[in-house]
Amino acid sequence: MSKYQPENMLVTGGAGFIGSNFIRYMLSTDKKINIINLDKLTYAGNLDNLKDLPNDLPKDLPKDLPKDLPKDLKGKSKYKFIHGDICDFDMLDSIFQEYHIDTIIHFAAESHVDRSIIGPAEFVQTNIVGTFTLLEIARKYWLKNKNSNTENCRFHHISTDEVYGTLKKDDPPFTETTQFAPNSPYSASKAASDHLVRSYLHTYGLPVIITNCSNNYGPYQNKEKFIPTVILACMNQQPIPVYGDGSNIRDWLHVIDHCKGIDTVFRKGVIGETYNIGGNFERANIDIVRIICRHMDEINPKKKPHESLISFVPDRLGHDWRYAIDAGKIERELGWRPVETFDTGIAKSIQWYGNMFRSKSVLKSSN
């Protein structure tokens, strides 16, 4: 099987949680690649996630960004950050012209379910309109202008297991052929974007690939997310909020395993195919909380076990009960499987957040 080798990669949402980890992973493993990181820097994006990378920064950044951002003094960086919106066609047009983009890894998305319930309009704009705009710019440069051979281009769309809806206790895990049944404005907007991406393959012949992942955890995750919330509550000795009775089940995937899975798919995957990427670790939310508490008891014992901080709160609207990913296809066809166990992964995450907590850094990244 021949491997696809990108040259000039546009990563959207690369200042977020998964995107920033992916950029770090790619720059450390592929010396041939040039990466352009396009991020709007909403609540979900944080340049601190990438502040130690050499970078050629624009002059029109927001005034409240950190003052110690790195600059590429020699002008030879393999990485460049651009502050912008994926809905801005003219900006995308200039990026494609200047950097000759042959690969898009599309992370940029509004992804917090609770926020989608309060304000769904932003999710429709970013996740649907933004994806459409990216597809159109790729179609213009890779198909209309005939400047590129589509065999040497890729549009890799990063999606979620939430598009499949919810499972009962004894239901089999989601596969790539599971019917979509989204239950929140967030998952509905992601499902719509998945359909758009697929339509550009069948209608125009755009070389697209889609991956749907399970819940990620690891360094640089937004502090609003479940696992960082639990870890930081333990560190601050504050109540640990758990929705409902904590019985909701998720499959957990370490972010670096996810990055390796994405790398595997866009290099070896079949154009037009969808691949599920999962961690093979299904647990109820309350069990995840207890695992973290036990780790915290060993690392930083208190008079009372950290489990005493657990506080059950009213369940959120549209809260899916169970997600589970069947990652058999990517393992059989492409040879990928998760390496990190949850115990080793959560220990590394606790250590990372502990270092950040002690240094009083502000955690702002996203999924």
Quick count: other Cβ atoms within 10 Å of Cβ 245? 11
Q: Which of 162, 251, 320, 340 is catalytic?
A: 162
Residues 250 and 166: their CA atoms lie apart, in Å, by 10
Q: Which of 48, 161, 257, 340 is catalytic?
A: 161
E strand or H helix at 213: strand 208-213
CB 345 within 8 A of CB 292: no
E strand or H helix at 293: helix 285-299
Instruction: Assess whether 52 carries a catalytic annotation.
Output: no
**What string of H, E and C letters represents the secondary structure of 155-174?**
EEEEEEHHHHCCCCCCCCCE
Instruction: Assess whether 4 carries a catalytic annotation.
Output: no
Q: What are the φ/ψ torsions at residue 322 (nearest 5 degrees)?
A: -145, 135
Instruction: Assess whether 186 carries a catalytic annotation.
Output: yes
Q: What are the φ/ψ torsions at residue 241 (nearest 5 degrees)?
A: -75, 130
Q: Which of 79, 164, 186, 217 is catalytic?
A: 186
Q: Residue 124: helix, strand or coil by DSSP? A: helix
DSSP, residue by residue, 168-211: -TTSPPB-TTSPP---SHHHHHHHHHHHHHHHHHHHH---EEEE
Q: Which are the catalytic amino acids?
A: 161-162, 186
